[in-house]
Structure 1
Amino acid sequence: MILLNTLSLVTSLLEVLLQGGAIYGWPSLQFVLMQEGYFALNCSSNISNATTCSSGEAKFNLVFAMAITGFMISAIPFGYILDRFGTWTSRSIACFLNTFGWTLLAVMSPQTAGLLFPAMIFIATAGLHLLISNVQLNDLTTNFKSGYNFMVTGAFDSGVVIFFLVKLAYDNAIQFKTIFQFMACLSVFPWVRTFLLMPKNKLLVEENGKAVKFGIFEVLHLAKQTRLNFARKAKVQFQANLNQNEISSVDETQNTEMEKTLKSCLKSPLFWTNLMFISVGNLRFVFYVGSYITWISQIEIAGRLDFFTNLFSYFLISGGLAAPINGLICDAVIKYNNSPEISPQTRKLRGLFVSILITGTLEIILNITVLANSIYGSLVTLLFYRSFLYGSVIDFIAKAFPMIHFGKLFGFTYISAGLFGTLQYALFLTIENLHLFSVVNYLLLVLCVLSLIHPLLIFVKAYTCKTVNSEE
């Protein structure tokens, strides 16, 4: 079991790195696609200078906007499927979309550029769910749950390395189709992990902190039983283990937590301020990524566009190394507040307050560096901000609310943030047609400052009383 647990944790990071957050490396892929002449059929300029074609840029931005919106909207159905039908079922759907998406990239051409829309939506959607399904593995750790949460989201951030490597391979004369044929083959890896290293339903932990046998053990068990008998026994055993797991927890307050209904979680002011925080933060991030090449083109000579595109990838790849920092800070604050007078839930909220406050501060700094046209300053800030943003939100949902509702709460949060993120395309058209780049960024700065109400409310809940219930 120790070997299985270790393999599950290590390969989860590798899986999310290779197949998770590739969508955030979009500028690198966009650069390659422009060189190939995608969306340049209606441009009057030369294909090699496709960056000067406004209609081409708008279509590329629309692909990115639809992919980001699609994968965030998909969070709620995938979260429901994960909670209702289990890990194998939900991951099988994600793996199919992932393989299909990479296959579409492998067969498309400039004449069939429309395939880029479904391909990027499928890849982005599947990548997000691979991340969601791996969060439950934090129960395999003991005192470093936040550390693992931020490590796996950091690997998701560093997924930009995939399209960056695509660009490097393309620059070294490897054919475009060959690159994505290889990626389609690599998409078999999540299929293997699903049935050998992931639980069939949900990861269950016994009173002694050991995980109930999962993955390969469940495959072997399936091979020994008839389908009908196993279905009946697995349902009874899963429910019994689930009840035992949820009741036997590290502290007494969790017993009370598990009695909370989904409705009470949705009524929590903290849930809604967290929703506002991720919605604003996601809009700030996707607008930066979607308008990056346009922004760089306005303040740098065209000959350096390739350099700054590569530089963007270098910084976001490094985000995976920065991600655990926030998780370690959160865990350290929780351990520091170990007085018996402070309830375990309050200790969690105090750790989350510091984590989210740091993220909100970085968000404001990112806005300021963009307004100052500081390319290097914005990239350094983005390195930490991108790593902290999604990790802190996922960690907040996992800690402030019962894990039994994690999939549904995460899904509702992301679908709302995704719908709000569709404003990114409207903002892009504003800077493209009206040249109001500074006005748009000032607006985003105001929204980011307003979103600090979330860490402020957490502070009030964590420091004004000794016992804090998440439904308050």
Structure 2
Amino acid sequence: MTMLDALSIFTALLEVLLQGGVIYGWPSIQFVLIQEGYFAFNCSFLPGNGTMTPCSSDESTFNLVFTLAIAAQTISSVPFGYILDKFGTWTSRSIACFLNTFGWTLLAVMSPQTVGLLFPAMIFIATSGLHFQVTNVQLSDLTTDHKSGYLFLLAGAYDSAVVVFFLIKVAYDSGTHLTSVFQFMACISVFPWLRTFLLMPKNKIIVDKDGSVGRYGILDVLHVAKRTQITSSVETGSPNTDRSNPGVELSIDETQNEENELSLKSCLKSLLFWTNLIFLSIGSLRLVFFFGSYISWVSRIHPSDRIDFFANLFGYILIAAGLTAPINGVICDVVEKYSGDSNISQNTRKLRGLFVTMFITGSIEIILNVTVLTNSVYGSLVTMLFFRSFLFGSLSNFLAKNFPLIHFGQLYGITVFAAGLFSLLQYALFLSIEDSNLFSVVNYLLLAVCILSFVHPVLIFVKAYTSHPVNY
């Protein structure tokens, strides 16, 4: 691994930590916006021990902002995935960088009188954050034997990005003007622009069979033709395979075909792809409903003067996501490396590692449902911490290891798009729990569908551990 490789990986984690899953820190920023009087025209506020207590219609409006941001984030994954695969990293990231900067700028100029800007601002920030994570997945090829570890670490950074809204709340509580904080974040949004053209490939990361990496990032900008290592094709004198020449590069499709002949159509016909999609959709709905109803749920079971404490606790707990996410990746790598004897194929080893990660993730999901049903706020926060960091890490790991990386953008986009559409049910579920008697009913329903989603790890188990696995 070169210095450029290490710098790209480190800054990728930093970028995703600062700009990734920021939207999932929604309970923290929602509390601040309530104090500032956003959407106050919806209803009258009742003072409660120095805090502002929102009414039901106010909660619904805030939940609608969150729901639309999550839905737009996931729906945008399809066009972004297509642009990434067809037009390259620089093009797709430039769009994401623009949306990110524009989103923070809208927050910086927003006020309670122009609260409508909150909708596009959150949509742009959520959308760009997801794409920053997706484009950084390809850097796993630079980590050789630790791909799962990097992918889960990346997922952990994405989860830990909730700390951004939490720190904004901390700054606000300490007396800093909200507009000043948003202006600072708008300045921070310049960082992804710099990474795009200095530390990311113009198209995709290209790794030869001998492990050498083609030039990217600053080397492309400076038009440096020197490669990390000289490819075997150069040694044979083939003029059409000299990728060290800026003007002559093998197409991404040709490179991938040497590694795996699976077409995108074949990937979409795979049963495991669709069970994985269902697994993510159900898990995403469970998670989004938890985030969207957290403040409302806590308000029902604890006094109003404790809401601020639990809003802060939410932020503190999720800061640790960067530490918990790699655990599942390490487990996957260990199982893959030491699973069975030397006669087992590499593909089977990968499937066994994937089974363990999916089984653990699904089990934690069920525990989360149980803690919510028993009104255990502390238990639900800890469980949600592990579930959030494991769920999307498992998705990236599954698609990157089970299918050709050349199709990752589109496969990821289709999967997250479907999950996003499914997660729109969250708003309907939230409206239904305005009658507190239905809260338990909704959560029992979620528990049932979460149990049904276990069909995915079961199918992976059958394919990985039976002597004559079925091809699906």
TM-score normalised by structure 1 residue count: 0.93
> Greater CA deviation, 107-116 or 42-51?
42-51
Equivalent runs, 1:358-373 vs 2, <5 Å: 358-373=360-375
Letter in 2 for 1:4: L
Kept in 1, the 8 Å contact 2:28–2:166? The answer is yes
Task: State the partner residue of 1:28.
Answer: 28
Match for residue 249 of structure 2? 237
- Which of 279, 282, 298 in structure 1 is aligned with 2:281? 279
User: Cα RMSD between the aligned structures?
Assistant: 1.8
2:45 and 2:206 map into 1 onto residues whose CA distance is 59
Which is worse superposed, 421-430 or 312-321?
Answer: 312-321
Please list, as runs of the form range in 1=range in 2, the aligned pairs for 1:202-217 lying within 5 A after superposition. Answer: 202-217=204-219
Question: Is structure 2 residue 403 aligned with structure 1 residue 401?
Answer: yes
Structure 2 counterpart SS, 1:221? coil
- Counterpart of 1:16? 16
Aligned match of 1:300: 302
- How far did 1:45 drift? 2.2
Q: Residue type matched to 1:275 in 2? A: L
**Partner residue in 2 for 1:228:** none
Q: Aligned match of 2:139 in 137, 161, 186?
A: 137
Conservation of the 8 A alpha-carbon contact between 2:256 and 2:404 = no
Task: Verify the 8 A CA contact 1:204 1:242 in the aligned structure 2.
Answer: no
Residues 191 and 468 of structure 1, relative CA distance in 2, 3 Å threshold: farther
Gaps of 5+ in 1: 224-232, 248-254
| Structure 1 Cα separation of the partners of residues 368 and 211 of structure 2 | 41
- Residue 424 (structure 1) aligned with residue 435 (structure 2): no
Q: Which amino acid aligns with 2:254?
A: N
Please identify, of 140-149 and 1-10, the stretch whose mean Cα deviation from structure 2 is larger.
1-10
- Is the 2:149–2:326 Cα contact (8 Å) retained in structure 1? yes
CA distance in structure 1 between the partners assigned to 2:361 and 2:114 by the alignment: 40
2-side partners of 1:49 and 1:189: how far apart?
36
Residue identity opposite 2:249 in structure 1: Q
C-alpha spacing 1:244/1:67, structure 2 compared with 1 (3 Å): closer
Give 1:324's aligned residue.
326
Q: d(CA) in 2 for partners of 1:386 and 1:45?
A: 33
Matched AA of 2:133: L
Work out the CA distance in 1 between the residues paired with 2:53 and 2:44.
12
The aligned residue for residue 312 of structure 2 is 310
1:206 deviation in Å? 1.9
Which residue identity is paired with 2:74? Answer: M
Shift of 1:146: 0.3
Query: CA–CA distance in 2 between the matches of 1:434 and 1:170?
Result: 32
Q: Conserved in 1, the CA contact under 8 Å of 2:45 and 2:53?
A: no
> How far 1:466 moved relative to its partner?
6.4
State TM-score, norm by structure 2: 0.93
Tell me how many residue pairs correspond in the alignment.
452
In 1, the alpha carbon distance for the partners of 2:394 and 2:470 equals 19
Aligned-residue offset at 1:238: 3.9
Tell me, in whole angstroms, the C-alpha distance in 2 between the residues paired with 1:363 and 1:107. Answer: 39
Q: Corresponding residue for 1:43?
A: 43
Post-superposition shift, 1:317?
1.2
Greater shift in the superposed pair: 125-134 or 396-405: 396-405
Q: What letter matches 1:201 in structure 2?
A: N
- Are 1:5 and 2:17 matched, yes or no? no
Q: Match for 1:401: what amino acid?
A: F
* Alpha-carbon offset, residue 379 of structure 1: 0.9
Structure 2 residue corresponding to 1:183, chosen from 182, 185, 205:
185
Q: Who is 1:226 aligned against?
A: none
| Cα deviation, residue 185, structure 1 | 0.3
Higher deviation after alignment, 203-212 or 281-290: 203-212
Measure how far apart 1:339 and its partner are. 2.7
The residue identity in structure 1 corresponding to 2:347 is: Q
Name the amino acid aligned to 1:76: V
Which residue in 1 is equivalent to 2:378? 376
Q: Is the 8 A contact 1:39 1:56 kept in 2?
A: yes
Task: Output the amino acid matched with 1:94.
Answer: A
Distance 1:14 1:461 in 2: 37
Q: Which has the higher helix share?
A: 1
Deviation at 1:433, TM superposition (A): 4.2
User: Residues of 1 paired with 2:71 and 2:206: CA distance?
Assistant: 32
Q: Distance in 2 between the 1:438 and 1:363 partners?
A: 16
**1:229 corresponding residue in structure 2:** none
Q: For 2:159 and 2:269, how far apart are their aligned partners in 1?
A: 31
Gaps of 5+ in 2: 226-244
Shift of 1:186: 0.2
Distance 1:86-1:235 versus aligned 2 partners, 3 A rule: farther
Give, as a single letter, the amino acid of the residue that structure 1 aligns with 2:370: I
- Percent of paired sites with the same residue: 65
- Look up the equivalent residue of 2:88 and give its one-letter code: G
Q: Aligned runs of 1:47-446 on 2, under 5 Å?
A: 50-221=52-223, 236-239=248-251, 243-244=254-255, 247=258, 255=259, 258-337=260-339, 339-433=341-435, 435-446=437-448
Q: Residue deviations 1:93-139, cap 9 Å, x none? A: 00000000000000011111111010000000000000000000000
2:229 alignment partner in structure 1:
none
Q: Which runs of 4+ in 1 moved over 6 A?
A: none
SS at match of 1:214: coil
Q: Within 1, Cα distance between the matches of 2:470 and 2:213?
A: 29
Residue 42 of structure 1 and its aligned partner are, at CA, apart by: 2.5
Give the Cα separation in 2 of the matches to 1:120 and 1:402: 33
Q: Which residue of 2 aligns with 1:227?
A: none
Deviations 1:282-306 (A, max 9, x none): 0000000000000000000111111
